[in-house]
Amino acid sequence: MKLSKATRTAIFALSILTAGRSAFADSPAWSRAKAAADAARERGDYALAETYYKEAISLQTASLGADSPEVAISLNNLAVLYQDQSLYPQAENTYLEALGILETNPLQEAVTAHTLNNLAELYHDENQNAKAEPLYIRALGIWDKLEKKEPLNEAATAASLADIYHSRNQNTNAEPLYKRAITLWGEQGKAESADSADALFALGEIYHSRSDNADAEPLYVGALKAWETLGQLKNTRAVTAQATLGEIYRSEGKYSESEPLLEQALAATEQKDGPNHLDVATGLSHLALLYYCEGRYEAAEPLYKRALEIRERNLGLDNAVVVQTRQLYAEVLRQQGKKAEAQKFEAQPARGGVAHL
């Protein structure tokens, strides 16, 4: 999973870097060109913004020198403009040019960290994580030693690096980074931001994969609370969190807490994927199992029946999941005294392998 790009990009790739101003910061010619470029980019006039950024770079180079941090900042912002338009080769080359200037100036560490993050995010977006990883590590090292801390940027860097490790199942490395990001966001009053919610969810998934539901549960709760505040309960991660947390509560016998979560997850999945999707069958089965555990066999019956129909249609009669769903449906029928009907399903041969519902 990746953190929400919109928020990360607002911190890094779309932010206009202002650190490292030189004594020439009020130079009117290039300042006007840069301000015009910024304004054009903000209103989406990318062609005009590019023209103005290039003009600013030319004027800065002439007046301040080619190795000026101001030139690097304008190059960074030009690269951002290219990245906005998915012009990745141009963005990469321009970021690298900016870094070539910044890395020769030890006083520009904060600006360097921003640009490292921008370039890392570019590689991350292109699934070139082998290139992104060392850049995130370098940026995180800079955030660590800066006298004037930038906790929100540090949090986003840590979470982005954690994303890479999590995508490789290197969760021993990902876990402390997610914790670090979550703590920093919390300290800055951003505990219910979209990125914090995503990190809470990812860390919850790590614990859940270890069957450590005691630690996973509060993380799912925190993520769902944030998404509810943001009006984002129908996003894919939120729906997964609802279903998983509902299953955790069911396994703990917290049936009244489980039911609304499983119902919401099922409704959202059906709305997104349509009534005949296999994920809908999974949601139906989860809710049916809850009802079965509660002894509400009449409520479970139509859910298992519908899940069986969807799976038969998509997977065929002999699939292992279909066979197991058929057996569960038959058991629900039998619990209601519908023995003859149950026997019809039980009599069907089970030729599948291992089922995962």
Spatial separation of the C-alpha atoms in residues 54 and 162, rounded to whole Å: 35
pLDDT of residue 227: 97
Distance set, CA 179 to CA 47, 48, 172, 176, 211 (Å): 41, 42, 12, 5, 18
Domain contains 278: no
The two structure tokens encoding residue 62: 């002439």
Domain contains 144: yes
pLDDT of residue 347: 75
The residues, ordered by sequence, that sit 6+ positions from 207 with a Cβ below 8 Å of its Cβ are 213, 215, 216, 219
pLDDT digits (tens, 9 = 90+) for 17-37: 544 444 444 456 888 998 899
Whether the model clears a pTM of 0.75, i.e. scores above it, the answer is: yes
Q: For position 3, which CATH number holds?
A: 1.25.40.10
Domain contains 29: yes
Domain contains 211: no
Spatial separation of the C-alpha atoms in residues 40 and 18, rounded to whole Å: 18
Domain contains 13: yes
Instruction: Return the closest-CA partner of residue 114 out of 93, 133, 91, 140.
Output: 140
Spatial separation of the C-alpha atoms in residues 133 and 115, rounded to whole Å: 14
Domain contains 107: yes
Spans of the chain, pLDDT less than 70: 1-28, 349-357
Domain count, the chain: 1
Give the residue numbers spanning the domain of 130.
1-148
Domain contains 141: yes
Spatial separation of the C-alpha atoms in residues 328 and 305, rounded to whole Å: 9
